[in-house]
Chains A and B, each alone.
Chain A
Amino acid sequence: MIPPNNYLYEMVRSELSWAVGDDHVQTGDADKLGHSIDYYWVPEVWHDRGQKLPPPDFVVYPASAKEVSEILKIANTHKIPVIPWGGGSGSQGGALPIYGGIVMDMKRMNKVLNIDPASMTATAETGINTQHLEWAIEKAGFSTMHFPASIACATLGGFIANRGTGVLSTKYGKIEDMVMTLEVVTPSGEIINTLPVPRHASGPDLTQLFLGSEGTLGVVTKATIKIHPIPESRKFHAFLFKTMHEAMIAGSKIMTSRLRPCVIRLYDEPETAKLIKRVLGIDKKGAYLVFGFDGPAQIVDLELEQACAICREKDHEDLGTEMGQAWWDHRYKFFYPPYMFHLPQAFGTLDTVATFANIEKVYWAMKNVVHENFPQAAFIGHFSHWYEWGCMLYARFIIEAPPKDPHEAVALYNKIWDMAIRAAIKEGGVINEHHGVGLKLGRIMKELYGPAFKVLEDIKKTLDPNNIMNPGKMGFPSKGI
């Protein structure tokens, strides 16, 4: 952090203004405040308890890869941290300027540059809000099929940086499956492009290196993604099972029989009782399973019928298409206040992914560890993103009345994470599936990767020798306080 009364502050500001224009370098309190808090619970509670949040020194809004490059060169000269910021909707503290420096807000880079109907791809600048992107693509008669709950909050670049995912991931993939190629500005300011197609045998895939790099290896400025036709039909169906285990058997059988649902979601008994009741008004005991198929109408009907037949093999209550459609119609409602958990509650999403063989073990390991060690915490979960081999557990802990003292509250919060995550890793879980690592989980990276983490560390050192890019995130070295 450069003290504003130090004349170096003005030197850097002048350089940045020269690079992007006066209007695009903000140093006012209002914008600094907005950029000091993302969707991570810790800065929220810090603010709520009147604590000072580390602000950025400058918030800079580049309009092109060239301007991004200029900013990175300035940052290298002065060895100032640069923190890319998309929509700030990340839940891991990834975009927080913990050491001050330059927050590089990408939202000015928001153009759809090209829609290629022949290849069904679209190219856009990465600061584009994903709802705006989807609207533009829909206007051209297609869809990105990327429908995360934060579609209206987040940017394309944020999803790329966090390996994010949308509701229809089971059929259309996560963001790393959607991206064709990237333009990246490396920490030294060089503008590079990865190979134009994702399937090749020309060495390791650089696109995948930057996907999930959380702004630590460079700034992603442009992306070409796949787009899709609007499906002729999309249908849903819901079932209620006596236990989560029975529902899991049905869900995994749908996947391993290689049916191609666009979405499956399974809520454990406590979440069915709490959230499904509150948001959808379904007041029943058991585990709620919903799935959907889309595509040509005849195929959808056939696949849906087969999936229903699998569910009917177990003791079930058929909630029909209506209760499935209701879930789809209200899928974002869960995330609006007051439906979403909120302060004074403490809450965290213990996002974990594992194979079908391990996923229930992961669930029970986390749940038991939370219950045994933190009797004040509730544990609920649903299984969100399903693949041929396993699925993601979107588990949450919730404490209704965490300690008033912010330090105590954060210490308790971190302890729950530490214990729950380690329990999950032991059972074969990977932390995590789509939220990223950020500040929140950096301390676990070495444990998660083992010796392989050195490979990532070496890449970081090579690309970013001055450690200007988002220091202290993803388990990479901090700047020191």
Chain B
Amino acid sequence: MHMDKHQDVIAACRFCFMCRHLDPVGNVTFQESDTPRGRALILDTIRMKNESLRNRDFIATIYRSALSGANRYHCVSHYDEVGLVLAARKDIVEAGLAPENVKALTETLSRATFTVKGKGTTLYYGDHLELYPGCKIVSGGDPGKALEVLGFGDDSQKVFDRFRSAVVASKCTTLIVAEPSAYDFLKDKFDGIEVVHCSEHLLSGKWKAKPARKAFYLESDFLKNYDGNPAAPRELLARYGYTLTLFGTNNEESYSVGEGAVVFDELNPGLCEKLCRRVYDLAGNLKTALFITPSRYVKATLTKYNPQIRVMTLEEAVAQRKEQ
């Protein structure tokens, strides 16, 4: 089983309570099973009794995880509980036990194809080509990250191969990626092609000082907890006049409403709405507060459950100020 490679994590997390306060799902369902300890206990039970893998409640719990990196980041020993859950999802899929909604989603995701348009030596993967003059754009669906987190490794690889073919055919040697989940997925996947986050690229451009504007910066789970917490997004926003305020009560929790699970809202809409509500509740006055997130997933999800909230993606925040 794939889980077997993560025995150390099972052994560490199954009786440990030390990061439960950061589990986004546990913080809204309050269920013991929705914490790293709860999931490790389930997977330990499966380790001891393989037939427990068939337990529908266990499977549902494993697919309910928001795969947040906040817990691993907090853990002094950085045990990779998310890695364990991803391995368990692979085991579930390979045993033919994936839930129906997961299978249906997989079919859609597997159909992704990619096209390249425009002229330039640099390739951009995102929604705001106007910010990247002289760049080509590659578009299509998710490049394989979503399938990977759902436990469909082979399908993920197939989609990625199509993405790679498109990138290689573009003859570009730099790929700028906007969505943090895609950036996290792609940054180590290519040989001979440099993958950069859009904020790094935009930071190298020219800018004009802008009047100050206050905003809450909603950290990306991927950028903060998986990708070394680059300073570029915050520096970029500061350059464009945004004064960023800490959101919520602390800087450890992930308020990225399931971003780590990439298709969390598609899979668990009721739960995702609860994650959003936690953000709305902490925000105070939604009508006056401005949120900036590096992730269009986060923006789309937060606005879906309460259209009153004012959220911009990082690129939109920059684009808006460039126009002023």
Chain A residues at the B interface, C-beta cutoff of 8 Å: 26, 28-31, 33-35, 37, 39, 44, 47, 50, 59, 61, 87-89, 105, 107-108, 110, 127, 129, 131-132, 135-136, 138-139, 150, 152-154, 332-333, 335-340, 342-343
Known: A31-B31, A34-B38, A61-B30. A136 touches B249 (CB 8 A): yes
Known: A31-B32, A34-B37. A152 touches B55 (CB 8 A): no
Enumerate chain A residues within 8 angstroms of B60, measured Cβ to Cβ. Answer: 28, 30
Who on chain A is nearest to B33 by CB? A30
| A149 CA to B61 CA, complexed, in Å | 28
Who on chain A is nearest to B35 by CB? A34
Cβ of B6 to closest chain A Cβ, rounded Å:
14
Partner of B41, one of A26, A37, A135: A37
| A59 CA to B33 CA, complexed, in Å | 11
Who on chain A is nearest to B48 by CB? A50
Who on chain A is nearest to B246 by CB? A139
The yes or no answer to B104 lying at the interface (CB within 8 A) is no
Q: Across the interface, do B42 and A342 meet the contact criterion of CB distance under 8 Å?
A: no
The yes or no answer to B18 lying at the interface (CB within 8 A) is yes
The yes or no answer to B44 lying at the interface (CB within 8 A) is yes
| A88 CA to B15 CA, complexed, in Å | 10
Q: Across the interface, do B249 and A89 meet the contact criterion of CB distance under 8 Å?
A: no
Q: Across the interface, do B18 and A336 meet the contact criterion of CB distance under 8 Å?
A: yes
The yes or no answer to B17 lying at the interface (CB within 8 A) is yes
Partner of B18, one of A47, A152, A338: A152
Bitwise, B26-57 to A at CB < 8 A (1) or not (0) is 00001111010110011011001100000101
The yes or no answer to B231 lying at the interface (CB within 8 A) is no
Q: Across the interface, do B249 and A152 meet the contact criterion of CB distance under 8 Å?
A: no
Query: On chain B, which size bracket covers the interface?
Result: 35 or more
Q: Which of B73-81, B85-93, B136-144 contacts A (4 or more CB under 8 A)?
A: B73-81
Known: A30-B57, A30-B58, A342-B11. A132 touches B44 (CB 8 A): no
Q: What are 13 A-B pairs with beta-carbon distances under 8 A?
A: A26-B31, A28-B33, A28-B60, A30-B31, A35-B32, A39-B15, A50-B48, A89-B17, A105-B30, A105-B32, A129-B21, A152-B19, A336-B16
| Most chain B Cβ neighbours within 10 Å, of A50, A108, A338 | A338
Cβ of A456 to closest chain B Cβ, rounded Å:
29
The yes or no answer to B250 lying at the interface (CB within 8 A) is yes
Q: Across the interface, do B77 and A33 meet the contact criterion of CB distance under 8 Å?
A: no
Enumerate chain B residues within 8 angstroms of A35, measured Cβ to Cβ. Answer: 32
Cβ of B254 to closest chain A Cβ, rounded Å:
14
Enumerate chain A residues within 8 angstroms of B319, measured Cβ to Cβ. Answer: none
Q: Across the interface, do A88 and B249 meet the contact criterion of CB distance under 8 Å?
A: no
Q: Across the interface, do A37 and B21 meet the contact criterion of CB distance under 8 Å?
A: no
Cβ of B37 to closest chain A Cβ, rounded Å:
7
The yes or no answer to B277 lying at the interface (CB within 8 A) is no
Who on chain B is nearest to A131 by CB? B21
| A37 CA to B38 CA, complexed, in Å | 10
Closest 9 CB pairs of A and B: A34-B32, A153-B17, A135-B249, A30-B33, A337-B12, A107-B30, A28-B57, A34-B38, A30-B61
Known: A152-B21, A153-B18, A153-B20. A33 touches B249 (CB 8 A): no
Bitwise, B1-23 to A at CB < 8 A (1) or not (0) is 00000000001111111111110
Bitwise, B181-206 to A at CB < 8 A (1) or not (0) is 00000000000000000000000000
| A33 CA to B22 CA, complexed, in Å | 20
Enumerate chain B residues within 8 angstroms of A342, measured Cβ to Cβ. Answer: 11-12, 15
Enumerate chain A residues within 8 angstroms of B77, measured Cβ to Cβ. Answer: 336-339
Enumerate chain B residues within 8 angstroms of A105, measured Cβ to Cβ. Answer: 30-32
Q: Across the interface, do A33 and B21 meet the contact criterion of CB distance under 8 Å?
A: no
Q: Across the interface, do B17 and A150 meet the contact criterion of CB distance under 8 Å?
A: yes
Partner of A29, one of B14, B30, B48, B58: B58
Who on chain B is nearest to A336 by CB? B76
Cβ of B98 to closest chain A Cβ, rounded Å:
17
Who on chain B is nearest to A149 by CB? B18
Q: Across the interface, do B41 and A50 meet the contact criterion of CB distance under 8 Å?
A: no
| Most chain A Cβ neighbours within 10 Å, of B19, B20, B49 | B20
Q: Across the interface, do A333 and B76 meet the contact criterion of CB distance under 8 Å?
A: yes
Cβ of A441 to closest chain B Cβ, rounded Å:
20
Cβ of B14 to closest chain A Cβ, rounded Å:
8
| A37 CA to B33 CA, complexed, in Å | 11
Q: Across the interface, do B31 and A33 meet the contact criterion of CB distance under 8 Å?
A: no
| A138 CA to B249 CA, complexed, in Å | 8
Who on chain A is nearest to B250 by CB? A135
Enumerate chain B residues within 8 angstroms of A30, measured Cβ to Cβ. Answer: 31, 33, 38, 42, 55, 57-58, 60-61
Q: Across the interface, do A88 and B16 meet the contact criterion of CB distance under 8 Å?
A: no
| A333 CA to B250 CA, complexed, in Å | 20
Who on chain B is nearest to A133 by CB? B249
Q: Across the interface, do B249 and A139 meet the contact criterion of CB distance under 8 Å?
A: yes
Enumerate chain A residues within 8 angstroms of B21, measured Cβ to Cβ. Answer: 129, 131-132, 152-153
Known: A33-B41, A61-B30, A337-B77. A44 touches B17 (CB 8 A): no
Cβ of A231 to closest chain B Cβ, rounded Å:
20
Known: A88-B32, A107-B30. A29 touches B57 (CB 8 A): yes
Enumerate chain A residues within 8 angstroms of B20, measured Cβ to Cβ. Answer: 87, 129, 152-153
| A50 CA to B48 CA, complexed, in Å | 7
Q: Across the interface, do B16 and A33 meet the contact criterion of CB distance under 8 Å?
A: no
| A152 CA to B70 CA, complexed, in Å | 13
Partner of A87, one of B15, B17, B76: B17
Enumerate chain B residues within 8 angstroms of A131, measured Cβ to Cβ. Answer: 21
Partner of B15, one of A59, A127, A343: A343
Enumerate chain A residues within 8 angstroms of B12, measured Cβ to Cβ. Answer: 337-338, 342
Cβ of A148 to closest chain B Cβ, rounded Å:
12
Enumerate chain B residues within 8 angstroms of A28, measured Cβ to Cβ. Answer: 33, 57, 60-61
Enumerate chain A residues within 8 angstroms of B250, measured Cβ to Cβ. Answer: 135
**Beyond A31-B33, A152-B17, A152-B19, 4 additional pairs, beta carbon < 8 A:** A28-B60, A154-B17, A337-B12, A339-B76
Who on chain A is nearest to B57 by CB? A28
Q: Across the interface, do B42 and A33 meet the contact criterion of CB distance under 8 Å?
A: yes
Bitwise, B247-285 to A at CB < 8 A (1) or not (0) is 001100000000000000000000000000000000000
| A314 CA to B18 CA, complexed, in Å | 38
| A338 CA to B75 CA, complexed, in Å | 11
Cβ of A33 to closest chain B Cβ, rounded Å:
5
Q: Across the interface, do A337 and B57 meet the contact criterion of CB distance under 8 Å?
A: no
Bitwise, B57-68 to A at CB < 8 A (1) or not (0) is 110110000000
Enumerate chain A residues within 8 angstroms of B37, measured Cβ to Cβ. Answer: 34
| A107 CA to B15 CA, complexed, in Å | 19
| A107 CA to B38 CA, complexed, in Å | 15
Who on chain B is nearest to A137 by CB? B249
Enumerate chain B residues within 8 angstroms of A37, measured Cβ to Cβ. Answer: 15, 41
